[in-house]
C-alpha cells in the first residue's frame, strides 16, 4: 500500500470521530471525520452508512500495525478541480498607457459637450 493510492472498501463501523473501512486488499483503515468532505459535518451518520462501498485515497500508512489513514475529501476535490482561466493581457504589446493618453483629449471634449447640453 502506498500513499496516494486509490482503493475500494466497505465501511464496517462508524464513530463520531470517523468511519472504519475494510479495504479490498484485506487491510483496515480509518476515514477521519475531517477527511470525509470539505467543510463542516454536523452528523457523520447522515453522510455514511455501515456496509456502504467507498472509493478512498490513502493519506498515511503504518507499516507496523498495517493500518491506513484514508480520505474521501481528496477524491472529492479532485473531481471538482476547475481549469485555470487565462486572463487577457496586452503585456506583450508593450503599449502601456498610450491608448489612454490618445483618447483622453477626446473624452474631455465629449464630457464638456454633454455638460453644456445639460446646462441649457
The CATH number assigned to the domain holding 20 equals 2.40.50.140
**Neighbouring residues of 51: CB distance < 8 A, sequence distance ≥ 6:** 10, 11
Residue 34 lies in a domain: yes
| Over residues 83-89, mean pLDDT | 61
The count of domains in the chain is 1
Residue 94 lies in a domain: no
pLDDT the model gives residue 17: 93
Residue 88, pLDDT > 80, answer: no
- Asked, for residue 109, whether it belongs to a domain, the answer is no
Query: Are residues 10 and 52 in contact, defined by beta-carbon separation less than 8 angstroms?
Result: yes
> What is the pLDDT, as a whole number, of residue 100?
80
Q: Find the distance separating the first CA and the last CA of the chain, reported in whole Å.
A: 83
Domain that holds residue 15: 6-79
| Residue 39 confidence (pLDDT) above 90 | no
Query: Does 45 fall in a domain?
Result: yes
Tell me what pLDDT residue 49 has: 93
d(CA 31, CA 61): 12
Residue 40, domain member (yes or no): yes
120 belongs to a structural domain: no
Residue 5 has pLDDT above 70, yes or no: yes
Is 48 inside any structural domain?
A: yes
Q: What is the mean pLDDT of residues 27-49?
A: 91
* Residue 21 resides in a domain: yes
pLDDT of residue 86: 59
Amino acid at each position: 500500500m502506498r500513499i496516494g493510492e486509490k482503493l475500494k472498501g466497505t465501511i464496517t463501523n462508524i464513530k463520531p470521530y470517523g468511519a472504519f473501512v475494510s479495504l479490498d486488499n484485506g487491510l483496515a483503515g480509518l476515514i477521519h471525520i475531517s477527511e470525509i468532505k470539505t467543510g463542516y459535518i454536523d452528523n457523520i451518520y447522515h453522510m455514511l452508512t455501515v456496509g456502504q462501498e467507498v472509493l478512498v485515497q490513502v493519506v498515511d500508512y503504518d507499516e507496523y500495525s498495517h493500518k491506513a489513514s484514508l480520505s474521501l475529501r481528496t477524491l472529492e476535490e479532485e473531481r471538482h478541480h476547475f481549469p485555470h482561466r487565462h486572463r487577457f493581457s496586452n503585456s506583450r504589446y508593450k503599449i502601456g498607457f498610450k491608448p489612454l493618453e490618445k483618447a483622453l483629449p477626446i473624452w474631455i471634449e465629449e464630457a464638456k459637450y454633454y455638460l453644456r447640453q445639460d446646462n441649457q
